[in-house]
Amino acid sequence: VVETDPFVYPDENASWEELASEQVIDRFNEVLDNTEYVPKNRQLASVAKKLSKGLPPQESVVEISNWVNQEMSYVPGTTGVHTSAVEAWSEKKGVCQDYAHLTLLMLRSVGIPSRYVSGYLHPKKQAAIGATVEGQSHAWIEAWTGAWWGYDPTNAIAVNEQHVSVGLGRDYADVPPLKGIFSGGGSTALDVVVEITRLA
């Protein structure tokens, strides 16, 4: 049983000056740095800077996430688990993992601490209580603008009670949905189904 909450913007709102302070940079260094999936990119950093101009950090998170949503096309199969944000951007196609990585690249480039969230999405907002549906593996971001809060750039919505968080990390490599060691024969197949039932 997992308890989720409707979205509420955090009361604590950091300014750009606070985000640029040594204390914040030191505290959140891990989620401000670039990674293999979230590399530096001057062009995207420039776009992020323009999008956030004149906006406070919290509004910049929404603006950048929504820009990613509008610029990318959701096309399964065009990218894989090893695709970086820049590679997905060059195709302007991808899946939730790519939307999250691209958003992280842009948020980090303007100094907003941000992390990758791996989890599941309940596909029906108004699902009947007790009805079981097939859940969807999903990824989104969390940003720190005085407090941590989530946004889903794939769907251009704030994270809400439909989102079930399983793991947090710098990028996909830290929190893949499945991880382990394989031992045995030469061919395998994997089928995973997640069923979600709304209880309240």
Q: In this predicted model, what pLDDT tens digit does every residue of 50-59 receive, in sequence order? A: 999 999 999 9
Does residue 6 sit within a domain? Answer: no
Does residue 184 sit within a domain? Answer: no
Domain count, the chain: 1
What range defines the domain where residue 94 resides?
16-175+189-197
CATH number of the domain where residue 49 is located: 3.10.620.30
Does residue 182 sit within a domain? Answer: no
Instruction: Select from 111, 57, 116 the least CA-distant residue to 85.
Output: 116
**Residue 9: pLDDT over 70:** yes
Q: How many helices (H) and strands (E) does the chain have?
A: 6, 9
- The β-bridge partners of 36 are none
Q: Which tens digit of pLDDT belongs to each residue from 133-190? A: 887 889 999 999 999 999 999 999 999 988 999 999 999 999 876 666 666 666 666 5
Q: Which tens digit of pLDDT belongs to each residue from 52-92? A: 999 999 999 999 999 999 999 999 999 988 999 999 999 99
The pLDDT-based confidence of 191 (bands split at 50, 70, 90) is: low
Structure tokens at 150: 């989530």
